[in-house]
Structure 1
Amino acid sequence: MRLENYGEYGVQFNDWHDSRMLALFSDLFQELEERIEQFEKYGDIKPGYRYAPKYVINNRLTTLGKKELKPNGLD
């Protein structure tokens, strides 16, 4: 239900669930950037490549996920 409302109302950042969603998207974006960088540099993804999550690990926010992800300076 919450994800369905993002399209209409946007992410509100009212609670932990919204922060976790932003952290998850941030990890996905970081992995995509790393893969693009490897592809541009080497022509392919390195064998055995695994992304190391920075914002969400085991469904919990890391220190970066809690402190670094402040959209528009919101607390």
Structure 2
Amino acid sequence: MEEITKVQRNYHGDIISFQTSGGRIISYRKAVLEASEGLLQGVDLQENEMGDYEIYSTGSTDKGFDDFPTIF
């Protein structure tokens, strides 16, 4: 099972894609889908007030991806 190893952010600082331990680069939406299917380990999903799912790291103290390296 793969896990998230790196992130890519837009100019607002929002995460737009992830790199997995298998070397794949996947979009935020694809990561949410794979996490919901149990294909990614080390992440949790939470539904926000708008009904969308957000992905969080279970290995981070703040549950975010701030300490993850960037893809580029």
Greater strand proportion: 2
Structure with larger Rg = 1
More helix by share: 1
The question of a shared fold, defined as TM-score above 0.5 by the shorter chain, is answered with no
